[in-house]
Structure 1
């Protein structure tokens, strides 16, 4: 389980961008993505670097959100054992 983010890193990065852009009205882009269990253990953490989210028409040329880094953590234990998705928040 701990090796999975390393082995499938490129596939995970590609699928995240593809899935997000099918669900959003705007356009999501980032320069690099890292998936790790070690950033906020025991959560599986997704770090998106060079994050940009453009708004939809008529503001598609405007950046809605721009960030150097944005991170999402999911508690895998609760997902597996409780079938719940708990997203951790760190400030």
Structure 2
């Protein structure tokens, strides 16, 4: 995914494509811990923070360079996750 594709990705806030990225997502609350462990196992690609446990809301913190690889990895995990569009402020 190049920089132009990052701007078109609805999960990426285009104002911050040259810095760290925060990707918001929704996941079944019973799968939050597994997501955290799996992403942690990927090492340098990013970290997961739970923003609302009751609603299953999480955010993935990564960089523009690591996001394509992290996104592919998460999409291939045995979890149902919905990446939420980024609201630009």
Q: For the superposition of Structure 1 and Structure 2, which TM-score range results when normalised by the shorter chain?
A: under 0.3
- TM-score of the two chains, using structure 1 as the length reference: 0.26
Q: Which has the higher contact order (CA 8 A, sep 6+)?
A: 2
Greater share of helix:
2
- TM-score of the two chains, using structure 2 as the length reference: 0.27
